[in-house]
Structure 1
Amino acid sequence: MSVSIDIAGLRPERVAVVPSPLAELGMALHALAEPGHHPGLQAWVTGVTARLDPHLADRMCEADFLWRTTFSDLFLPSAGVPGRTTLPGATLAEELDLLDKLSDEQFVDAALEFTCALPYGLPGPGPLADEGLRRRSLELAAARGPQQVRFTERLLADPPRIRAWLRQFLQDCEEAFFADAWSRLRHQLAADTRLKTDLLRRKGLAGALAAVSPAVTLDEATGLITVDKLGDGRTATGDGGLLLIPTSLGWPHLMVLHRYGWQPVLHYPVGSPEPAAPPSVEQLALRMTALSHPVRMRMCRHLARSAYTTSELAQVHGMTAPEISRHLGVLKKAGLISTRRRGRYVLHQLDVTVVARLGSDFLEGILR
């Protein structure tokens, strides 16, 4: 399993390493929503949460699926600008102007990525044009809760209104906590940008990618970048460019934007994580046995990001509901997942705190 980027014909000047304040704000929101993914940020999360205005906190919950369950491509709008060569802005305001350049169709498709209802790497109509996709998006949003349903309904009914809402929300986040964080983080990101740009000049793309992550490799003979992830995807630079965007808040997430028609992006973490605490021998034996099956490993990739119903997992993995239920039973017996009921939906989710005790290598692998 991997995500690949075909770079055949890519000109060296079309490869850019550049920080993105909007992408970093997206990672800040993700860390606030899922602190278990980022044990090294616990102190920062606690401090921001304690100072957060209650009204802004409520608004965060209203659309948190944009950064909690997936990292929405809305936080990388430069990749969607026609021509596929646009760079991120130097300031959040400039990046929000780039977000305004996306069409309503692009905006809605990227915002509804959390439902898994839309073809991500393939061409095709979106829910604004396809009534079947519209119904499917609302159905899958219902499994996430009433707030997600209401937001999705408003998004489909009036995209410009939601676009204005999101822009104002992100500006309010900048004022409340992100401006202070960015003033500290941008220096580290700028230093990494200079380092990777120098490597591009001296050692070429293969040298720069080797410094990004051991999980990223380039086969220069075939012109194919391969990112080792528990997921599948393929894209190509075509006549566009390739963006390498560092993140300070994002470890352990190594993400690849491979949306059809968008500029490919590698969003990679900077800095070294703190080592995880070792698990007990009793936990290790039971839990590693449960995780030894490749299907259950792939399931963990989804369950680490969000809660899913059995039927959703069955659809994603191309299996029957009883087969998925058996695998869920093994994971639950090992104490690796939690289950809760919301109305008529039964949702399952990975306990990332428990998984972290198995070791940072496994956690990084499923969250990559």
Structure 2
Amino acid sequence: MTIDITGLPQERVVFCPSPLAELGAALHALAEPAHHPRLHAWTTTTSAALKPGLADRLHEADFMWRSTRSDILLPARPRETLGEELDDLDRMDDEKYVGAALEISCATQYYTTGLPSPLVDERMRRRALDLAAARGPRQAAFVERMLADPPATRAWVRRLLEDCDEAFFADTWRRVGVQLAADARHKTELMRRKGLGEAVSAASSAMVLEEDERGARIVVDKLVQGRTTAEGSGVTFLPTAFGWPHLLALSAPGWHPVVQYPVPTRDLGGAATTAEVTLRLEAVAHPMRMRLCRGLARAAYTTGELADAHGITAPEVSRHLAVLRKAGLLTTQRRGRYVLHQLDVAVVARLGSDFLESVLR
């Protein structure tokens, strides 16, 4: 993914944290916790504390941040507070907002190809509704509401984000915002002293500044193709504590280029205690439990299936599963009269990649 910065003054390149972008990253982590094993404690604790009504509304809207992040959640001009950034978002015209919102929920081609908006073109409206219906009832209902009454749906989204801020994000932002601001200042100073190339590479090893006779460009190493230009606007880099391992680059036509890059943080809290780590290591150290983990890492099994596969009795399997469960390494689900057990890979990953590789090899 390439951002053309030929002729762009260095002062138009900005490193700055964004509350809205960080909230979007946090919502993605809640929707896809398996992507973020480092945040296991935070996602588990936060999800458990959500009130049912808020959890249901987040589930209704999660397609805006589950698979990727809607562009409206990556502000080009970060502000001090979430409220200020939401105010800026309110000033965006309906066609641009709707295009960004529907890009993910129904893959509307007009967003990146310049075709008419479904707000003004009936054929594109029908296509957007058809595509959304194929993605499921939640997407279909959202798109229908958005096309019928954009202001009301936009207000609904704003209230949802404000309720998230009140429920959990404001406290989280107080802890991580200081570190993100420090990282942004460091990158800005690095850019001033050693140049943009050094700052870009320091933000992520997957980014590089290329300069030749054709001009200058920032290249983001991703398995997607995209090209945009910073001419007339600039480039904004947003540090994130919740984003790892993702590196996002906004390259939609007509949008200010934005890159969200992850920074390491120890301020999210919730690391396992020494006693918990000891309990988990002892649980997986037993040879038979190690063998059980090999199967449980691949799929869910009943006690009887595990007993047959390993040539031991069902009570013996139950005793081993009890040890793994006590250590927090198993998930269970009931399917009719059967209870299925599976290794919680996200938790095991925190014990070390060597162990995880051995049970998945």
Deviation of 1:118 after TM superposition, in Å, equals 2.3
Q: Summarize the Cα distance change of 1:65–1:231 in structure 2 as closer, same or farther, 3 Å threshold.
A: same
CA displacement 1:76-122 (0-9 Å, x = unmatched) = 2x43xxxxxxx211100000001111100011001011122224444
Q: Matched residues, percent identical?
A: 57
Tell me the TM-score normalized by structure 1. Answer: 0.70
Deviation of 1:143 after TM superposition, in Å, equals 2.6
Aligned to 1:223: 216
Among 97, 100, 110, the alignment partner of 2:87 is 97
Alpha-carbon distance between aligned partners in 1 of 2:170 and 2:70, rounded to the nearest angstrom: 21
CA contact (8 A) 1:118 1:126 kept: no
Q: How does 1:143-222 map to 2 (within 5 A)?
A: 143-221=134-212, 222=215
Aligned to 1:62: 60
Structure 2: state its 5+ residue gaps: 272-290, 299-344, 354-361
Alpha-carbon distance between aligned partners in 1 of 2:125 and 2:263, rounded to the nearest angstrom: 38
Q: Summarize the Cα distance change of 1:122–1:212 in structure 2 as closer, same or farther, 3 Å threshold.
A: farther
Alpha-carbon distance between aligned partners in 1 of 2:233 and 2:128, rounded to the nearest angstrom: 30
Aligned to 1:33: 31
Deviation of 1:209 after TM superposition, in Å, equals 0.4
CA displacement 1:129-179 (0-9 Å, x = unmatched) = 233332222222223221211111000110000111111111111000000
Alpha-carbon distance between aligned partners in 2 of 1:271 and 1:132, rounded to the nearest angstrom: 46
CA contact (8 A) 1:70 1:113 kept: no
CA contact (8 A) 2:249 2:259 kept: yes
Residue 104 of structure 1 aligns with an amino acid whose one-letter code is D
Alpha-carbon distance between aligned partners in 1 of 2:114 and 2:228, rounded to the nearest angstrom: 12
Alpha-carbon distance between aligned partners in 2 of 1:132 and 1:250, rounded to the nearest angstrom: 37
Residue 158 of structure 1 aligns with an amino acid whose one-letter code is D
Tell me the TM-score normalized by structure 2. Answer: 0.72
Aligned to 2:282: none
CA contact (8 A) 2:119 2:125 kept: yes
Alpha-carbon distance between aligned partners in 2 of 1:71 and 1:255, rounded to the nearest angstrom: 8
RMSD: 2.7
Residue 163 of structure 1 aligns with an amino acid whose one-letter code is R
Among 124, 129, 152, the alignment partner of 2:115 is 124
Q: How does 1:1-368 map to 2 (within 5 A)?
A: 3-76=1-74, 78-79=75-76, 87-114=77-104, 115-221=106-212, 222-271=215-264
Q: For the pair shown, which has the larger CA radius of gyration, 1 or 2?
A: 2
CA contact (8 A) 1:30 1:67 kept: yes
Alpha-carbon distance between aligned partners in 2 of 1:126 and 1:40, rounded to the nearest angstrom: 40
Alpha-carbon distance between aligned partners in 1 of 2:34 and 2:238, rounded to the nearest angstrom: 23
Alpha-carbon distance between aligned partners in 2 of 1:192 and 1:122, rounded to the nearest angstrom: 36
Alpha-carbon distance between aligned partners in 2 of 1:151 and 1:272, rounded to the nearest angstrom: 35
CA contact (8 A) 1:109 1:118 kept: no
CA contact (8 A) 1:9 1:239 kept: no
CA displacement 1:321-340 (0-9 Å, x = unmatched) = xxxxxxxxxxxxxxxxxxxx
Deviation of 1:272 after TM superposition, in Å, equals 7.1
**Other structure's SS at 2:195 match:** helix
Residue 135 of structure 1 aligns with an amino acid whose one-letter code is R
**Other structure's SS at 1:262 match:** coil
CA displacement 1:160-215 (0-9 Å, x = unmatched) = 00111111111111000000100101011011011101111011111100101111
Alpha-carbon distance between aligned partners in 2 of 1:123 and 1:268, rounded to the nearest angstrom: 28
Alpha-carbon distance between aligned partners in 2 of 1:225 and 1:124, rounded to the nearest angstrom: 28
Deviation of 1:252 after TM superposition, in Å, equals 0.6
Alpha-carbon distance between aligned partners in 2 of 1:100 and 1:40, rounded to the nearest angstrom: 34
CA contact (8 A) 2:197 2:209 kept: yes
